[in-house]
Amino acid sequence: MESEGEALQILTNIILPQYQAGLGRWAIHTKDTDEFIGWCGLKYLKEEDEIDLGYRLHQSAWGIGFATEAAKYTVAYGFNQLNLHEIVGKAHIENIGSINVLQKIGMQYIKEAIENNERVKVFIAVNSL
């Protein structure tokens, strides 16, 4: 567990600069009730030198299309607003719902990998412009 000083250093040196560069994770709220149901966004992963698409939704919001809509918008934002060349998406091998989201938004499967001691499927989207 990080100390308060270590947490502040992570916030200052890693998290906030991502938002200043147009990256970061955004809250997802429903249109009708404004209920917070999760988050989606882009994050630079220094260790892999890649831009990662990530999303997490409350289980009550699974299977309704929210993750697909948010992920599709986020990839378009990365390509059209940030002029990114490629975006990577990863899902645990048993997370069929998340794998389906990555496929629905047009990301291409490239390989299996080990991340944090877990098997993941790796997908990529490449900006054609």
Sheet holding 118-126, edge to edge: 24-29, 36-45, 50-57, 86-92, 118-126, 108-115
Give 65-114 pLDDT, tens digit per residue: 999 999 999 999 999 999 999 999 999 999 999 999 999 999 999 999 99
Query: Does residue 1 register a pLDDT over 60?
Result: no
Share of the chain above pLDDT 90, in %: 77
Any idea what DSSP says for residue 72? H
Q: Across residues 46-59, what is the average pLDDT?
A: 94
* Confidence at residue 16, expressed as pLDDT on a 0 to 100 scale: 85
Q: Which helix (H) or strand (E) holds 4?
A: helix 4-10
Query: Does residue 129 register a pLDDT over 70?
Result: no
What residue spans define the domains of the chain? Answer: 23-126
CATH superfamily, domain 23-126, is Gcn5-related N-acetyltransferase (GNAT) (3.40.630.30)
Select from 98, 108, 44 the least CA-distant residue to 71. 98
Question: Which long-range contacts (C-beta less than 8 Å, at least 24 apart) are formed by 97-100?
Answer: 97/62, 97/63, 97/67, 98/55, 98/67
Q: Which of the two residues, 2 and 43, has the higher pLDDT score?
A: 43
Query: Does residue 122 register a pLDDT over 90?
Result: yes
108-115 and 50-57 beta bridge pairing: unpaired
Share of the chain above pLDDT 70, in %: 98
* Confidence at residue 2, expressed as pLDDT on a 0 to 100 scale: 67
Query: Does residue 51 register a pLDDT over 60?
Result: yes
